Amino acid sequence: MTKAIFFFIACLLLTLPFVFNAGEISLSNQLLITTPFLLILGIPHGAIDNVLYLRNNAIKNSHFIGVYLVFVGLNVALWLVLPSIAYILFLLLSAYHFGQSQFSHYFNKQPLSHQALYFFWGIGILSALLYLNIEEVHNIMNQHPEFATFRPLHQEKDMLLLFLSSNFISVALMLYLGYKKYLKVETIFMELVVVSLILICFYLLPLLIGFSLYFIILHSYKVLKEEYIFLISEKEVKSFLKFLAMVAPFTLLSVFGIAFLFALIYFELLSLSYGYCLLIVISSITLPHVFVMNKFYALVFSKKANQAAI
């Protein structure tokens, strides 16, 4: 068990009774509860993409940021022209990224079988989130006209099929990797427990609270810890405070950026709902982040492989 898994179990056990006691929680209240945690712990894990990428690539920081912004711009354009494609792309990339961070500490290389596991594990989790909260998802789509475009992508039967098939494939891949000695039997058991807990979390908790609990603890906290350990080992940072100072600028920039966009919406200078705007922003940050993290994990794996060889 990793500490992230332990924190997840502890938080889930302590959150469940309170949420149950609170009764139905509206989407806006869910946003109010989860946003501070997402800002404090969610955004920072992607706030040092430039530092991580520059560790192993001969490129200037300004060039990196320039390319990063081009990706962000292209993604925003895709959302404006083909929102359904942008939405699917966002989900697929997120799925791969979630799976990669979930299994990163077990591996020191990532052949196709490992990457397939990342992908199907992530699809399994995201389809579970949508299927197990299908009523809430449909309500959001009914209430906000921008989301109505995605309604055909969220038919209950299709979601169930996707949920069952992707989870079945991811379990089969875990067993295959166990057979190939990439994963220990205990590891497979632990991952099955984790998947079960995530599904329970998504089923019992409201959409945003359930997802935030998973995202903040099992994903962001774990990735932040990996980044910190890597930068310490590379002597890029010497203390946790220095790490915080490194993470702070782009975290604050993102927070102020989101606040600025929300202000535009508030003063009716931007005709979007807050939720839809947030989705575009998160998706636009995610797109380059997934590529950077893929490179980062490749670097971490090669380092682990070199150490194992020594």
Residues that bind another protein (CB under 8 A): 1, 3, 6, 9-10, 13-14, 16-18, 20-21, 186, 189, 193
- Closest to another protein by CB, 17 or 152: 17
Could you identify the residue written with the tokens 């903040």? 216
Tokens representing 189 are: 């058991």
- Closest to another protein by CB, 168 or 189: 189
- Closest to another protein by CB, 205 or 282: 205
- Whether residue 16 contacts residue 31, with contact meaning beta carbons closer than 8 Å, is answered with no
CB of 172 to another protein, least distance (A): 22
- Closest to another protein by CB, 13 or 253: 13
- Whether residue 207 contacts residue 30, with contact meaning beta carbons closer than 8 Å, is answered with yes
Exposure string of 211-242, with b = 16+ CB inside 10 Å and e = fewer, is bbbbbbbbbbbbbbebbbebbeeeebbeeeee
- Closest to another protein by CB, 23 or 152: 23
Using only C-alpha atoms, the chain has a radius of gyration, in whole angstroms, of 19
The CA distance from 290 to 242, in Å, is: 24
154 closest CA partner among 207, 200, 196: 207
The CA distance from 171 to 177, in Å, is: 10
CB of 1 to another protein, least distance (A): 5
CB of 7 to another protein, least distance (A): 10
- Closest to another protein by CB, 110 or 187: 187
The CA distance from 23 to 21, in Å, is: 6
- Closest to another protein by CB, 35 or 187: 187
Task: Give the dihedral of Cα atoms 286, 168, 156, 216; nearest 10 deg.
Answer: -30
The CA distance from 43 to 52, in Å, is: 15
CB of 167 to another protein, least distance (A): 19
CB of 26 to another protein, least distance (A): 19
CB of 194 to another protein, least distance (A): 11
Task: Give the dihedral of Cα atoms 14, 120, 51, 71; nearest 10 deg.
Answer: -120
φ, ψ (nearest 5 deg) of residue 158: -65, -40
CB of 282 to another protein, least distance (A): 31
